[in-house]
Amino acid sequence: MTILLLNGPNLNLLGTREPDIYGNVSMDDFLGSLKDEFTEHSILYFQSNIEGEIINRLQQTDYDAVIINPGAFTHYSYAIADCLKNINLPKIEVHISNIYKREEFRQKSVTAAHTYGVLSGFGLQGYRLAILSLLK
């Protein structure tokens, strides 16, 4: 299986951005550990701070499933939500922090309704749990 792991704005700063919320492990380091663990599968990675680039990447068809952390786009990007709605593949939304323990505006996801499920608050392990879910 080929899994597209897609991150939205500021997730390229993992490891240095608000470590009390997001931890101190970089996405590159964590991605390496995922690829080492799931060697029989291909994990593609894409991160962008630009909404249109995320949509363009989602519309490519070189993957079997997607794990998306839309970052701030979670709360207002109807364009990404519409794109997810029209992708007929397994999709899981992941949030590193528990969005339901954060500011009120962060507790609403316009993208979640177009995914199979949401993992929130498990730190980076949420990505691992999403992969395990997709493989079952």
Say whether pLDDT at 89 is over 80.
yes
Whether the predicted pLDDT of 9 surpasses 90: no
- What sign for the dihedral angle of Cα 39, 40, 46, 47? negative
Query: pLDDT higher for 66 or 101?
Result: 66
Domains of the chain with bracketed CATH: 2-135 (3.40.50.9100)
- Cβ neighbours, 10 Å, residue 80: 23
pTM to 2 decimals?
A: 0.88
Between CA 41 and CA 20 the distance in angstroms is: 32
**In this model, does residue 14 exceed pLDDT 70?**
no
What's the mean per-residue pLDDT of the chain?
90
Residue positions annotated with a catalytic role: 22, 95
Distance CA 71, CA 8 (A): 5
